[in-house]
Structure 1
């Protein structure tokens, strides 16, 4: 009977160690991807029910700001699309969702002279989902609703 108990405890310990190793290994093979499209409008979004498509904001400087500190930045491409990848070992998802914003630091007037030349677009981050690619886990975040701050 003692042999069965020892075997059961050993088996349980191995399962526990394997699950902890998988959790640690999985976190090492993960990414946080923040992406989307910025439009050249007073609120950074496509204008609904417009007769002409809303132009995109090409070459805009976008930043991830947490508590007033820029932690990462990038530029939109010619189609207004950006993607910023963060290491989840350096940044907690809960902190990004609760304390960080996506900021469009380029003035709106640089994409359309009739838009304000002061102020910045700012949006909270929101979870868009997780994608698993083999051993790699990618958590996708997108900007929420933009606000024009300081115009």
Structure 2
């Protein structure tokens, strides 16, 4: 009887450990800088930053995470395992729908900045995938 209780306790501990490990696997962290400019693959080194822009991580068309850029145009966001897997197979993109006119009155009032994600798989540290924008491009809306 005592051995059965020990066996049940060990099994419960293993199940808790497995559940805990599952929660720790596959966090996705996306960080970068949003440029205030138009064009394709906008160079962030030569473009001004876009402060207070809303950045969304969309995977398979669904919003999975979001962030707002700081005064330097930088952002960071986290998503779960499902988004991490979608990002690794190219199913996610970053979208900034905040009008560019908010950072520069000479830029269009309609359109979005869009970027796919990039980052080497070697950046997997402690179950965290660290990715960044591949390069924002301006997409005008008709």
Same fold (TM over 0.5): yes
Q: CA deviation at 1:69?
A: 1.7
Aligned residues between the structures: 123
Aligned match of 1:6: none
1: CA distance between counterparts of 2:129 and 2:74? 18
Paired residues for 1:62-77 under 5 Å:
62-77=55-70
How much does 1:45 deviate?
Answer: 3.4
Question: 1:117 and 1:148, CA in 2 relative to 1: closer, same or farther beyond 3 A?
Answer: same
Whose strand fraction is larger, Structure 1's or Structure 2's? Answer: 1
Match of 1:46 among 20, 36, 43: 43
Alpha-carbon distance in structure 1 between the residues aligned to 2:28 and 2:44: 28
Give the alignment's TM-score, normalised by structure 1.
0.68
Q: Partner of 2:5 in structure 1?
A: none
**What's the C-alpha RMSD, in Å, of the aligned pairs?**
2.6
- The answer to whether 1:56 aligns with 2:49 is yes
TM-score by length of 2: 0.72
Call closer, same or farther: CA 1:86–1:55 in 2, change over 3 Å: same
CA apart distance, 1:72: 1.4
Q: Deviations along 1:120-144, whole A, 9 cap, x unmatched?
A: 0111111245253xxx332111111
Q: Which residue is 2:87 aligned to? A: 96
Q: Spell out structure 1 runs of 4+ moving beyond 2 A.
A: 22-31, 43-48
2:135 maps to which of 130, 142, 145: 145
**2:106 match: secondary structure:** coil
| Alignment match, 1:32 | 28
Contact conserved, 1:127 with 1:140, CA < 8 A, in 2?
yes
The runs of 5 or more residues in structure 1 that have no matched partner are 1-17
Conservation of the 8 A alpha-carbon contact between 1:38 and 1:45: no
**Maintained 8 Å contact 1:62/1:102:** yes
Instruction: Report SS of the residue matched to 1:101.
Output: strand
Q: SS of the residue aligned with 2:66?
A: strand
